[in-house]
Structures are given as C-alpha cells and as structure tokens.
Amino acid sequence: MLSAEEILCDTQQVIAGLEALRGENRLLLENLQEALESRAAADSGSVEQEKSGIIQESLERIELGLSEAQVMMALSAHLGSLEAEKQKLRAQVRRLCQENQWLRDELAGAQQRLQDREQEVVTLEEQNRHLQFMSSIRNAAAAAQQGGYEIPARLRTLHNLVIQYASQGRYEVAVPLCKQALEDLEKSSGHTHPDVATMLNILALVYRDQNKYKEAANLLNDALEIREKTLGMDHPAVAATLNNLAVLYGKRGKYKEAEPLCKRALEIREKVLGTDHPDVAKQLNNLALLCQNQGKYQEVERYYERALHIYQSKLGPDDANVAKTKNNLASCYLKQGKYRQAEALYKEILTRAHEKEFGSVEGTPLFCLL
C-alpha cells in the first residue's frame, strides 16, 4: 500500500511526463502537417495523414490523463485542508474537555461548600427549635383544636415551585422534587406529621395532572388519615384533603363516591368558618357540579343559589365569582329546559358586564349587549 505522500509524488511525476509527451506529440503533429501541406491534394490518403490521426488521438488521451491527474492533485489538496481542519477541531475539543473538567472541579468544590453551609444551617435550626420547644408545646394542642395549623412557608414555596414545573409539563423535575421533600420530612418529623400530609397532598396533585389517579388517590387517603389523627376530624386541612379527593373521584367519573366526601368537607368549612364564608361558597360550587353530573338538578339549584347569595353578600355584585356562579346556574336551568330562568340570568350577566365596561345600558337592545 502506498502512502498519501507517495501517491502525490508519483502523480506529480506522471503529470510532468505527460506534459513532456504532449509537447513531443504536438511537435510531431506540426511537422506532419507541414509535410502534408507541401504535397499535392491527390496524396491526401498518404501515410503521413494516417500518422497525423494517430498522433491526434494520442494527444486527446494525454489531455484526458492530465485532466485526471490534476483532479487527483486538487482532491489531495482538499483532503489536506480537511485534515488540517480536523486537527484544529480536535485541538478545540481537547481544550473544551480541559475547561469542562476545570468547571466540574469548581462545581464539586462549590457543592461541598454548600453542603457545609447547609449543615451549619441545620445545626442552627436544631438549636432554634430546641429553644422554641418549651414555649410552643404549651399552645400546640389548643392551636390544633382551633384550626391553628398552617402550612409552613417553605412548603408553600415548594408547592408554588412544583405547580410551576407541572404547568410547564416538566414532571420529570416536579415529581422527584416532591419525593425528595417527602423523604426529608419523614426522616425529620416522622410519617404522621401534618407537614408530611401537606407534602402528600402536593404530590397527589402532580400525579392527578398526569392522570395517575390511582397513585393520587392512595396519597390523598394517606394524607387524610394523618390529618384526621393529628389535627382532628373537623380541621380545615381535613376539609381541603376531602375536597381534593372528591375532585379526583369526579375526574374519574366516580360521582357517587365523590359526593359524600364533598358534603363532609362542606360541613367542616361551615362549622369552622361559618355558613356565609366565601370558602363555603366555593365548596358549594364543587358539590353542585358533582350533583349535576348525576342529574340531581334540584340539589344543584339549591347549592348554586346559596353560593351566589354568599358571594354577592360577602364579595359584592362585581366579583368574578358572582358572574361565574350565575353562569353555572343558568347552565343548570338550560339542562332542565327552564329557558326563561336561564335567559334572565344571562341578561343579568351581560348587563352587569356592559355597565362595568361602558356605563348604563338603559335602552340598549340585547343583541348589542351580545
């Protein structure tokens, strides 16, 4: 096998030989043509003409050989430039690998320093919890009975972060984040701590968004058991878990199983917050939707009308929940064929919206409002 340099050298020698041969053939051709011109036209079929044809054919082949040799030289030059570019890229890759390794070392050092600082923070938090223990233990039982448990700020922040990832469809980040937080809470506080129940709720909502209803239901039932045991059967956090579980069953079409959970959540909110609290109205809306899916329209009307009264009295006629509940009630009327009642509610919604945007609508036809 010849090397690339040997092939290139041989090609150059061939080009030189072909160029010399081309010169000799051209000289012979010129001599033959002069001889032919000096002879009479009658001798046109002489030997000189035959030789001239052979030499011309030889010149054409020589030209073809030179062209192919020049193409090989050009190709060799191109391959040489490609090889030089490849070597340049390899050098850049080596440099980038060195820089990457340096960055990895820097990152490892930064992570180690971060772990050290986190350990210091954990130690300080442990000392702080020890100092607060004596004062907090006196009020813990009373606070739980009065609905005093609140979701810690760190869990609210984590919940917002998880919801952001889930809304972007980045479940591969949201789920491990929840699981790691849940594991940390169970190690530090035990499985039956209210914060663990809160984290179970958050993870269940992520699973629900992924249509993993079975996993979500198991987590919510676990959270419900923890909250009932630690906070009491009538705590607002228990009502929240019951509502989440009812919504989950509703998404699966299990309306009969969801309805009693929703009713129990309503009873707890009424007992703790009062019968005219906006959260009670929100629960009434959820309960009405479950009943509507079962065709219980009389109960649906009663729940929507009560929710509408709460929203109007507590939040005012211009609150968005008022228009939303009116629209839900009008839809219920339509499903029952109560077109006059539905029309009246739709007119109220449109009129109120027009007055807020443009002022009085006295004398304005309905099609203009639409």
Per residue in 172-211, pLDDT (tens digit) is: 888 998 898 899 889 988 999 999 999 999 999 999 999 9
**Low-confidence stretches of the chain (pLDDT beneath 50):** 41-42, 130-147, 366-370
> 170 is written with which tokens?
């980045």
What is the model's pLDDT at position 288? Answer: 94
Give start and end residues of each alpha helix (H) in the chain: 4-38, 47-145, 153-167, 171-189, 194-209, 213-231, 236-251, 255-273, 278-292, 297-315, 320-335, 339-358, 366-369
Per residue in 89-131, pLDDT (tens digit) is: 999 999 999 999 999 999 999 999 998 888 888 778 766 654 4
Domain-embedded: residue 1: no
Domain-embedded: residue 239: yes
CA angle 88/92/94 to nearest 5° reads 115
The pTM is what? 0.56
Number of domains present in the structure of the chain? 1
- DSSP letter assigned to residue 39: S
What is the model's pLDDT at position 139? Answer: 33
Domain-embedded: residue 168: yes
Expressed as residue numbers, the domain containing 160 is: 152-249
Domain-embedded: residue 166: yes
What is the model's pLDDT at position 239? Answer: 94
CA 226 to CA 198: how far, in whole Å? 10
Q: What is the 3-state secondary structure (H, E, C) of 296-315?
A: CHHHHHHHHHHHHHHHHHHH
Domain-embedded: residue 207: yes
Cα torsion for 203, 209, 211, 215, to the nearest 10°?
10
Q: Give the CATH number for residue 217.
A: 1.25.40.10
Domain-embedded: residue 38: no
> 232 is written with which tokens?
């009491």
Domain-embedded: residue 222: yes
CA 71 to CA 297: how far, in whole Å? 88
Domain-embedded: residue 82: no
Q: Residue 170, SS3?
A: coil
